[in-house]
């Protein structure tokens, strides 16, 4: 008995575990976000080297980008739900571990298919990891000015990851090899993983909920099949069975996904959300603008290296001004929202981007840097930054508190899905114009047609936004959506923006 009492007293004397410093939690969450966003863009400057080393076709090259993007977009909402149900820290660790292992597999790939599989698994890991980064951060920082600063840091780190991708990729490819744009994730991911295991706090909010795994599988496989069918038009044409069958199968899978979402009690994407005009119009506009703008980095990199003869590092340096422009556009948009309203800012941003794409479509094989890369690139990305922020703010502004995280996830998913399908379409357009020729003139004509087509898509987006987006300034009046259930995310940066507006 005495021993038991002594043990009890000793247990009582044990100090409670000290919670980790808030700055450390914010730093770890931002590190995970940086890795995820960096990998969207870091591979672009490495694409020509990958093609040469692994013998990838033009179609295979676009799947190096699309494999990651489609898996990322298709499973992002599921990743957020899993964090709620099983714990945000656990999903952060699982996603980061999967992402790091897939990076190792991709960096060691000896054949094209091995690289493509690794990129898809990377996208899956990113989809599990990304939603947890923000929820961990907002759970650790009290609401108010401190949380606003933390969210601003998270947003800036994400934008910085995308902007730094070209430069980081160029440095790694020039100094080492293309493999290091993937292998660099391994030591960085391992350090973040160990630190997160030790210091990140756990949180969850998933009582009475379940995962809609069938929905996630259906939408991801449907989009991938549809993108594959579009890419087949390059070699087989639009009327061949090799094209029509995957196109029909992709549409059928997406239709089945919508049917499942309408009938399930806990849908991945509640269709009732789209009854709100702000949600449906903003997502449609984001999908359309994403389909045009996502391919910019891909084709600018190919133009710089394949036609102008830039090294990977030179290509990365050449795109720094446009990378900075998207940061300036994103940071400037919230200042204009209170005065002009989300619709006016989004339309203006899209018009600026369209002018940049139209300018870029006048590219020549000579390629003067200032007039055929820098200035049009700045216009394209300045417009992209100005467009994305008001659309995201508009989509989330009228959501009820319990649905705000899901609506925010939808707008990001719409942008990535639009970009994935848009890249497949634009790659087909470029290949059809270039044909079998490998001359600089032929490739330039193919790339120019892509930018001309993108400008037309953006102008169509301007019409859609002007006619469909709600007018006036963004409000925060909650709109109840049915069916609805609590979602994973705490208020995002776009929600903070909409509330300020």
What's the pLDDT at 335?
A: 84
Q: Rounded to whole angstroms, what are the CA distances from 439 to 231, 263, 305?
A: 22, 53, 13
What is the mean pLDDT for each group of 10 consecutive residues in the chain (501 residues)? 47 55 80 80 84 85 84 79 80 91 93 91 88 75 65 66 76 89 90 86 64 82 84 76 90 92 83 85 92 88 90 88 85 84 93 97 92 94 87 73 61 81 86 85 94 96 94 49 35 36 33
Contacting residues for 306 by C-beta, under 8 A, at least 6 apart: 48, 440, 443
The pLDDT tens digits for 403-458 are 555 666 677 778 878 888 888 889 889 988 988 788 989 999 999 999 999 999 99
Residue 354 has what pLDDT? 97
Sign (positive or negative) of CA dihedral 158, 159, 165, 168:
negative
* DSSP reduced 3-state for 320: helix
Strands (E), 132-237: none
CATH number for the domain running over 276-501: 1.20.1250.20
Task: Write down the residue that tokens 């600026």 correspond to.
Answer: 352
**Is 385:325 a contact under the CB 8 Å cutoff?**
yes
Q: Which of 483, 278, 284, 306 is nearest to 396 (CA)?
A: 278
Q: What is the pLDDT of residue 238?
A: 76
Angle between helices 375-397 and 320-340 (to 10 degrees): 40
Percent of the chain at pLDDT > 90 equals: 25
Same fold: 21-200 with 276-501: yes
Residue reference for tokens 């981007």: 353
Give the integer Cα–Cα distance in Å for 372 and 106: 33
Domain boundaries defined on the chain: 21-200, 213-265, 276-501
Please write the tens of the pLDDT for every residue from 35-93.
887 877 788 888 888 988 988 887 788 888 888 888 887 787 778 777 777 888 888 89
Q: In the CATH scheme, what architecture does the domain 21-200 have?
A: Up-down Bundle (1.20)
Q: Give the closest residue to 49 by CA, choosing from 220, 173, 203.
A: 173
Structure token pair of residue 288 = 């359309």
Cβ atoms < 10 Å from Cβ of 471: 9
Q: What pLDDT sits at residue 461?
A: 95
Nearest to 299 by CA among 453, 413, 117: 453
φ/ψ of residue 63, rounded to 5: -80, -15
Instruction: Write down the pLDDT at residue 399.
Output: 59
Cα torsion for 199, 205, 208, 213, to the nearest 10°? -70
Given a contact cutoff of 8 angstroms between Cβ atoms, the answer to whether 228 and 245 are in contact is: no
Residues in CB range of 240: below 8 A, 6 or more apart: 232
- pLDDT of 256: 94
């Amino acid at each position: 008995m005495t021993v038991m009492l002594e043990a009890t007293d000793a247990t009582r004397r044990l100090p409670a575990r000290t919670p980790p410093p808030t700055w450390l939690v914010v730093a770890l969450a931002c590190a995970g976000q940086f890795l995820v966003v960096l990998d969207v863009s870091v591979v672009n400057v490495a694409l020509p080297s990958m093609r040469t080393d692994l013998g990838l076709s033009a179609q295979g090259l676009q799947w190096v980008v699309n494999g990651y993007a489609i898996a990322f977009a298709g499973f992002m909402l599921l990743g957020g739900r899993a964090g709620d149900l099983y714990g945000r820290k656990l999903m952060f660790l699982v996603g980061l571990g999967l992402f790091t292992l897939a990076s190792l597999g991709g960096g060691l790939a000896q054949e094209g298919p091995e690289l493509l599989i690794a990129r898809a698994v990377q996208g899956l890991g990113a989809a599990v990891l990304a939603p947890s980064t923000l929820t961990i951060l907002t759970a650790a920082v009290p609401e108010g000015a401190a949380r606003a600063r933390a969210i601003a840091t998270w947003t800036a780190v994400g934008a910085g990851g995308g902007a730094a991708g070209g430069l980081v990729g160029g440095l790694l490819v020039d100094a080492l090899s293309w493999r290091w744009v993937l292998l660099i994730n391994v030591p960085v991911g391992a350090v973040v993983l160990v630190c997160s295991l030790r210091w990140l706090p756990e949180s969850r909010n998933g009582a009475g909920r379940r995962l809609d795994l069938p929905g996630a599988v259906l939408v991801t496989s449907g989009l991938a099949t549809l993108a594959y069918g579009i890419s087949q038009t390059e070699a087989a044409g639009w009327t061949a069975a090799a094209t029509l069958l995957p196109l029909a199968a992709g549409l059928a899978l997406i239709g089945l996904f919508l049917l499942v979402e309408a009938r399930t009690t806990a849908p991945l994407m509640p269709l009732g959300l789209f009854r709100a005009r702000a949600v449906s119009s903003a997502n449609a506009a984001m999908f359309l603008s994403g389909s045009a703008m996502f391919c910019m980095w891909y084709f600018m990199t190919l133009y710089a290296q394949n036609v102008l003869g830039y090294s990977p590092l030179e290509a990365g340096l050449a795109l720094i001004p446009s990378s900075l422009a998207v940061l300036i556009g994103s940071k400037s948009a919230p200042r204009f929202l209170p005065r002009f309203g989300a619709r006016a800012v989004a339309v203006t941003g899209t018009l600026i981007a369209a002018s940049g794409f139209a300018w870029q479509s006048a590219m020549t094989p000579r390629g003067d840097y200032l007039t055929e890369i820098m200035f049009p690139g700045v216009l394209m990305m300045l417009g992209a930054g100005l467009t994305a922020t008001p659309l995201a703010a508009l989509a989330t502004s009228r959501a009820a508190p319990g649905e705000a995280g899901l609506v925010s996830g939808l707008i990001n998913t719409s942008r990535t899905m639009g970009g994935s399908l848009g890249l497949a379409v634009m790659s087909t357009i470029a290949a059809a114009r270039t044909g079998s020729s490998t001359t600089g003139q032929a490739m330039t004509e193919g790339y120019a047609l892509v930018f001309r087509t993108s400008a037309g898509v953006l102008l169509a987006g301007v019409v859609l936004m002007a006619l469909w987006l709600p007018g006036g300034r963004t409000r925060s009046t909650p709109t109840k959506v049915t069916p609805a259930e609590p979602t994973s995310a705490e208020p995002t940066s776009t929600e903070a923006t909409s509330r300020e507006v």
